[in-house]
Structure 1
Amino acid sequence: MDLFSTTIILFIAILTMTTAHPTNLTSILIPLYIYPTPGAWDPLYSIITAYPTQPFTVIVNPDSGPGPKRFPDDSYIDGVVKLKVFKNVRVIGYVHASYTARKLEDVCKDVDTYTGWDRYPRSDISVDGIFVDEAPDNVGKDGRNLNYMKSVRSRILENFNGIGKSGFTMTNPGVIVDKRFYESSITDAVVSFEDTLKNYYAPGKLEVSKDMTKSPGTPSEMQAIIVTSVDGSPARERYILNKLVERGIGFVYFTTDPDYQKFGTDLAIFVDQVARSNGLVEGKVKVGSGL
């Protein structure tokens, strides 16, 4: 082998080593249900700034949905504008289906309102998709619930494709569900666990279920995990988070807070561990810094 060929091979090898990052990074999922009073969202802005290559998926929720008006109020607009500055953040809008008890047209109206944020004239407050909370966990009689969710997804895709976006959709039954709810005609991701840490390994949950008709047999990158009321040592939290990233879980949120009304005291630990497990170590936030 001549010197030129050897040099090329070495260059390719070095390039491969220096760019070898996971192709599917676990995204930090943030249910941002805190009203943006002055400074209220600053901890989130700070942590996103500190980890510029860590993906974040942020759920905005002005009023159990977009609210009754065409656009949110000025405080909310200012908050969303700041989020939109970050290139590593996907912003999605909250709607709720009430386990299909809510009228389909009301859910679709919320989707229409969020899509309409793209037409706000003074700044960019457009969202990138929709988070459907209180999604059903069973297909229903004659597939009724499945068809309901297909209709919601159809409205999302129609609206967002119309403004040049993919219409990313995440549904939240909060438990493992029938595999049919993972079809592309319904969603891009499913929250298959939303509960306290003490129930993380409870019977029938994602970590321990053997029911292969449900979500344990679905792609890990479509799974979203939300764990509240995190207690115990930071080492335990870091261990569980590392395992989730190793498994390729697509989206994860851990918090010491029980009801999403404030940022948990472990926000820095949580984000830092996911970023490290993803192989992203650019950001450094001191634990206990008030984030």
Structure 2
Amino acid sequence: MHKVILSIDHGPSNTAWTAGIYIQPIKRLNTVSNVQTIGYVDTDYRERANETVRKDIATYAGWNNSGIAISGIFLGHTAPNDVHDVRGYLKNVSATVRHSEGFLDPTIVVHNPGRVPDTNMTSYHADVTVVFEGEFRDMPDRKKLKAGLSDLKGRREDFAAVVHPYRAQSAEIGLEESSTA
């Protein structure tokens, strides 16, 4: 299943309703059987207040009232280890996603520490954990990544990578730049 992350101004934007230009594209994405649309909410490694993150989650859930809905939330910049009760913070905001009315079923929660987190950080509250984020050239080889994941509980589909290729490498890995005229 492919995840399409929606981020308007690094989150749902400052308004309760999404801008009209996004409604039709989101509706179209929601008709594709192997795509889940999810909203981006930055946690800033727990620096953003719990209330602020929960407000962003509620804004996305409220989009359902405008005729569009998404499948869950991509929590960006989650801390990879449990300092200052990060685990409790993530448990709380993840539960907010799961218990908010307005998301499509199945509701999904993605945590993005951008690297392999400590083992106690991949518990029941995330459906997917991003274990690498960066440029393609910096991606660890398969054996190194597999070794880093060996202590984590979960199946292969519970983990993801967000890769930002740059133009010179795009052709090298089989990606083509698309343009619209």
Q: What TM-score, normalized by structure 1, do the two folds share?
A: 0.55
- 2:159 matches 1:227: no
Partner of 1:188: 127
Identity among equivalent pairs (%)? 26
Partner of 1:129: 72
Q: Alpha carbons of 1:206 and 1:62: their partners in 2 closer, same or farther (altered >3 Å)?
A: farther
* Amino acid of the structure 2 residue aligned with 1:175: R
Moved over 4 A (4+): 208-213, 230-234, 288-291
Native 8 Å contact 1:192 1:223 kept in 2: yes
Q: Alpha carbons of 1:210 and 1:105: their partners in 2 closer, same or farther (altered >3 Å)?
A: closer
Match 1:138 to one of 54, 65, 81: 81
In structure 1, runs of 5+ residues without a counterpart are: 1-54, 239-265, 268-287
Report which structure shows greater RCO (CA 8 Å, sep ≥6). Answer: 1
Q: What TM-score, normalized by structure 2, do the two folds share?
A: 0.85
- Corresponding residue SS for 2:92: helix
Q: How much has 1:201 moved relative to structure 2?
A: 2.5
Q: Map of 1:141-290 to 2, 5 A cutoff?
A: 141=84, 144-160=85-101, 165-184=105-124, 186-201=125-140, 207=145, 209-210=147-148, 212-213=150-151, 215=152, 218-230=154-166, 231-232=168-169, 234=171, 237=173, 266-267=175-176, 290=179
* Amino acid of the structure 2 residue aligned with 1:207: L
* Larger Rg computed on CA atoms: 1
Q: Alpha carbons of 1:164 and 1:78: their partners in 2 closer, same or farther (altered >3 Å)?
A: closer
Q: How much has 1:208 moved relative to structure 2?
A: 6.2
* Amino acid of the structure 2 residue aligned with 1:174: G
Q: Alpha carbons of 1:290 and 1:76: their partners in 2 closer, same or farther (altered >3 Å)?
A: closer
Native 8 Å contact 1:139 1:146 kept in 2: yes
Native 8 Å contact 1:201 1:208 kept in 2: no
Native 8 Å contact 1:97 1:132 kept in 2: yes
| Number of aligned positions between the proteins | 178
Q: Alpha carbons of 1:289 and 1:221: their partners in 2 closer, same or farther (altered >3 Å)?
A: closer
- 2:41 matches 1:103: no
Q: Alpha carbons of 1:164 and 1:59: their partners in 2 closer, same or farther (altered >3 Å)?
A: closer
Native 8 Å contact 2:116 2:132 kept in 1: yes
In structure 2, runs of 5+ residues without a counterpart are: none
Native 8 Å contact 1:174 1:194 kept in 2: yes
